[in-house]
A and B are shown apart, each in its own frame.
Chain A
Amino acid sequence: MGFACIYIPDFLLQAVVRGQRSLGDGALALLGGTPPLWSVVAANSAAFHAGIQLGMTKAQVTQFASEAGVPDSPARPPQVQICMRSEAQEQAAHAALLDTAWSISPRVEDTAPDTLVLDLQGLTTLFGSEEKVAQELACRIAKIGLAARIAVAANIETAIHAARGFPGITIIPPGEKRRRLGSLPLGVLTAEPETLDILERWGVSTLQALAALPVLQLSERLGQEGVRLSELARGARRRSLLLAQPSASFAEEMELEDAVEELEPLSFLLGRLLDRLCVRLDARALSVRAVYLRFELQPSFEKDFQVREEARKKPEPKHYRKVLSLPVPIRSSKTLLKLLRLQLQSDLPPAPIQKIRMTADAAAPRVTQNGLFAPAGPDPEKLELTIARLAKLVGQGNVGRVHLEDSHRPESFRLEHFAASAEQSRRGTALLWPRKPSATNAIAVGALRIIRPPEAVRVELRNAQPARVYFRGVRGEVMAASGPWRSSGDWWQEDPWQHDEWDLEIEFSSPVEAQHRCAPSSQEVNLTASQQSPPCALYRIYFDSLRQSWFLRGIYD
C-alpha cells in the first residue's frame, strides 16, 4: 500500500557512537571541516545543554572542555567529549542501514545518507500489518547499532517528512496526511535556506501555514520552488522511487585513538568488526567467503619523519594486509575470529595499529544435504578451524591434501588446502553393508616409506652391483638386488635429475652393534636398527649421477 521512510536523527553522531559505544553515554561533540579550520558540526542534546554550539571552533571547544574540568568554576558544566567526524564510519553505517532495508524490501531508495525509503507493497503478507513491518524494521536497525525514526504513508514525501518530524514509529493513514503533517516545522522540508528564511520572515513556521498559502501568489514570489514547497506541505507531491542497487561490498572500518600492538586487544576490536559485518551479511542472507584486513600502522618517528628545508613532510602511513580465504562460506563471527587469531598469532603486524579496515567477500550460504546412508564428514567450519590449528602446530605447508603432479621426478606432489566436499558416496549403503573386497583388489599394494630428506649411504659394489650398504651406523649385506632402474628428466631446466635406483634386500649383521647417531629431529635418537632388527628388510636406494652419491630413498613396509 505505502512507503516506509527510515530516518536516522543525528546521523553523524550515531555513526561515531556505533563504532564506540561508550561515547554515547555523555555529552559528545563532533568536529569536522577542512583542517585546520575545524568546527563543531554535530552535538548531542547533552552537549547542547552543556553550552556547545554548532560552528564553534576547535580552540573554543577545547577551552570549553578544559573549563568544564575546573573544580572552582562556578557553574561547572558536564564534561564534553570531543571527537573527529569520521566519514568512514558514516559510510559503514549507511551501508549497514541499506543492507537492513534490503532485508525487508527489495525496493529501496537511497534518498540521503540518513534517509531511506522502502516500498512496502506485498510485505503485509510476510510481516503482517504495516505497523508490524515498521516494528520489524526498527528491531533490525537496532541490531546494527542505530536508532531510527520510521514513518509509513501512502506518499513518499509524506513518509519522509513524517519520519523527520515525529519520533518513533508513525503510521499516517490515507487521507490524513495534511492534518498529521500540519504541525511539523518547515525545517523538515528539503529547501534552500534562503527560501526557508523568507517564509520564516513571513510568519510561516509550520507546514499547515505553508499549505494554507495560495499557490498562485506563492509562485509569483518564490517561483517554482514555492509551488514545490506548497505541494510538499499539502502532501500532494507524487513521484516514483529511485531504486538503489544492492551493493556487493561489505566493509567496516575502525579508527583507534590509541594504537594497538598486542593480539588480545586487537582480537577484541576484530570481533566487533566481524559482528557488524556478519549482522549485515545475515540481513542479506549471505555468508563470508573471504576476509581482507588492512591495518594502517603507526609511523615510526625516528625512521620516517623527515625534516626538509622546504617543509615538514607528513610521513605516509604504512599498511599491513592480511587475507583469510575460506573453502566454504561461513557465517559465524566467532569461527571467523578464531581463524583470524590463528593467522595473526604467527604473523603480527610489525608496528602498532591505528586504523583497521575489514572487507568481506560475500557468497551464498552453503547448502548441505546429507544423505541418509552416506557417511557424514567433518563439519566444514570445525574442519577449517582444526586445519588452521594444525597449520599453526606443524607449519602452514605441512597440512592438507596431496595433489600428484604430472611429472616423473621423485616427490612430485604438492599440498593443497583440504576441504571436505559435499559429494555423497557412490556406495550409498556402505554403512549398512560393509564393503567386501573384490577379487581383483584382494592383494594389497606394497607400500614404500619415504625417507625425507634422502639419507646419504655408503655402498660397496661388487661386479657393478651393491654388495654391502652402510647407513645409520650399521652395516648390511645385500642378499638380493634389482636394478639399476634409471630415471631422469628436466635436463632442459636448471635442476635436472638422474637417478639409478636399486631395490635391495638387506640383512643386517647380528648381534647389532648400532652406533647411536642423532637423527634429523633433535628430540629423538635414531635407533632404526633396533636391538631386535629383522633379519631382512627391503630398501630402495639410488645413485645420483649428477651428485655422484648414494642415497636411501625409502623402506618397503
Chain B
Amino acid sequence: MPATSLATLRSNIEAHLHGRVASPFAYRQCNVFHLVSTGVPQVDALTGGLPRGAMTEICGAPSSGRTSLLLAALASRTADGEVCALVDARDSFDPLTAAASGIALKKLLWVRCQNIDQALRATDLLIQAGGFGMVAIDLSDVPAKIVRQVPLNAWFRFRRAVEDTPTILLLLEQEANAKTCASLVMRLEAEEAKWTQVAQALLPVPPATTPRPSCSPLTHPVAQLLKGFAARAEVLRSRIQIPEKHIIDIRAGTQSRAHRNVFETETIWSK
C-alpha cells in the first residue's frame, strides 16, 4: 500500500477517534507495571513486587505460607495509608495475627462470605467502586474443584476492571486458575517447620534417687514451641519487567535471576 494512502488512512482514523481515544496508534507497553513491595524481601527479590493494575495469583497447599504472604502484603499497603479490602470466601481471616503482622485494621475492609459465589460478587462490587489500594480474594479454603468451575471470563473481567487503576488484585487459591489473566503467578510450597526447645536448665532436675522418667524432657512436647515455618516461593509465570539496576555492586558478584526463593515466617510469640 503506498505510503501516502497509509498516512491518509491513519490521519482519517485519528480524526474520527479524536476526543474518544487518545493516540490510537501509540504503542502501549502492557508489561510495564508499577510495582510495590509484598512486605517480604525475599519475594520482592524474586518477583520485583506486586503489580498495580493487574491480577496476581498465589497458589499453594495448606501451610505453604500463602496467608502469611497475604498479611505481609496487606501490612505493606495499609502502612502506606492505602485502603484495602479482603474478600474472605470461607471466613478464615484471623484479626489477631493480622494485627501482629502490622496491618492497620482501620484501613482494611473485611467481607466475610460463606461461599465462592458471594466472594466473586463482592469482588466485583469492590473493584467497580474503585479507590482501594489492594483487593484480595481469599479462596484458599474453597475446594479446587469448585474454583476450577469459575468461568475464565470472570477472571478476565476482573483483570480488565483493575487495568489502568492503581488497585492490586491479589488472588489466593490452592491452584492457579486464572490462566493468562494473571500477570504474576506464584506457587508456594511448605518447607520445614521450626520448633524451639525450652532449655533443659529451666526444667526441674529430678533427684538421683528418683527413677528417671521414660521420656526425656527434651522430647516432652511441653518443651517444644512452634517458632515458625519456612515457605518456598516459585514464579510460575510473570509478565512483569523488573526494572534493571543501573548501579552494579561489584562486591555482589554476578547474580542470575532466580525463579524460586525461600522466606521465613515466625509466630507471634517468637517476635
Q: Output the nearest chain A residue to B263 by Cβ-Cβ distance.
A: A444
Chain A residues with CB under 8 A of B115: 521, 523-524
B47 at the binding interface (Cβ < 8 Å) = no
B188 to chain A, nearest CB (A): 9
A393 at the binding interface (Cβ < 8 Å) = yes
Chain B residues with CB under 8 A of A537: 61-63, 190
A538 pairs with B193, CB closer than 8 A: yes
B93 pairs with A450, CB closer than 8 A: yes
> Could you give, for residues 468-508 of chain A, a 1 whenever the CB lies within 8 Å of some chain B CB and a 0 otherwise?
00000000000011111000000000000000001101000
B79 pairs with A447, CB closer than 8 A: no
A435 pairs with B79, CB closer than 8 A: yes
A284 at the binding interface (Cβ < 8 Å) = no
A197 at the binding interface (Cβ < 8 Å) = no
A422 to chain B, nearest CB (A): 11
Chain A residues with CB under 8 A of B122: 390, 393-394
A447 pairs with B94, CB closer than 8 A: yes
B224 at the binding interface (Cβ < 8 Å) = yes
> Could you give, for residues 134-153 of chain B, a 1 whenever the CB lies within 8 Å of some chain A CB and a 0 otherwise?
00000011111110000000
A445 pairs with B143, CB closer than 8 A: no
Q: Given the known inter-chain contacts A376-B131, A437-B76, A445-B271, please indicate yes or no for A481 contacting B174, CB distance below 8 A.
A: no
A58 at the binding interface (Cβ < 8 Å) = no
A480 pairs with B129, CB closer than 8 A: no
B side interface size, CB within 8 A: 91
A268 at the binding interface (Cβ < 8 Å) = no
Q: Identify which of A376, A383, A413, A425 contacts B129 (C-beta below 8 A).
A: A383
A side interface size, CB within 8 A: 78
B143 pairs with A435, CB closer than 8 A: no
A382 pairs with B190, CB closer than 8 A: no
Distance in angstroms between the alpha carbons of A435 and B77 in the assembled complex: 9
Chain B residues with CB under 8 A of A484: 222
Distance in angstroms between the alpha carbons of A455 and B70 in the assembled complex: 24
Instruction: Give the contacts of B95-131 with A (CB-CB under 8 A).
Output: 95-102, 105-118, 121-122, 125-126, 128-131
A549 to chain B, nearest CB (A): 20
Q: Identify which of B105, B145, B190 contacts A404 (C-beta below 8 A).
A: B105
Chain B at the A interface: SS class: mixed
B150 to chain A, nearest CB (A): 13
Selected interface stretch from B8-16, B34-42, B204-212, B251-259: B34-42
Q: Output the nearest chain B residue to A414 by Cβ-Cβ distance.
A: B95
Q: Identify which of A390, A443, A505 contacts B125 (C-beta below 8 A).
A: A390
Chain B residues with CB under 8 A of A555: 62-63
A534 pairs with B92, CB closer than 8 A: no
A530 pairs with B82, CB closer than 8 A: no
Chain A residues with CB under 8 A of B40: 437, 442, 444
B101 pairs with A482, CB closer than 8 A: no
Q: Given the known inter-chain contacts A441-B102, A521-B114, please indicate yes or no for A536 contacting B68, CB distance below 8 A.
A: no
A452 at the binding interface (Cβ < 8 Å) = yes
Q: Identify which of A377, A394, A532, A557 contacts B68 (C-beta below 8 A).
A: A557
Chain A residues with CB under 8 A of B65: 444, 557
Distance in angstroms between the alpha carbons of A374 and B214 in the assembled complex: 63
Q: Output the nearest chain B residue to A413 by Cβ-Cβ distance.
A: B95
Query: Which residues of B approach A to under 8 Å, CB–CB?
Result: 35-37, 39-41, 44, 49, 61-72, 76, 79-83, 90-102, 105-118, 121-122, 125-126, 128-133, 140-146, 166, 174, 189-190, 193, 195, 215, 221-222, 224-226, 228-229, 263-268, 271
Sampled A-B contacts (29; CB under 8 Å): A376-B131, A378-B83, A378-B131, A378-B132, A394-B118, A398-B91, A399-B109, A401-B110, A402-B95, A420-B131, A425-B80, A430-B81, A444-B40, A444-B101, A444-B264, A445-B97, A445-B101, A445-B102, A446-B97, A446-B268, A449-B92, A451-B92, A465-B221, A482-B225, A483-B221, A532-B61, A534-B64, A537-B62, A557-B68
User: What 9 new A-B contacts, CB under 8 Å, besides A376-B131, A385-B129, A444-B263?
Assistant: A377-B82, A402-B105, A420-B83, A420-B107, A446-B229, A447-B101, A483-B221, A505-B193, A527-B145
The 3 closest A-B pairs by CB, nearest first: A425-B81, A378-B131, A447-B67
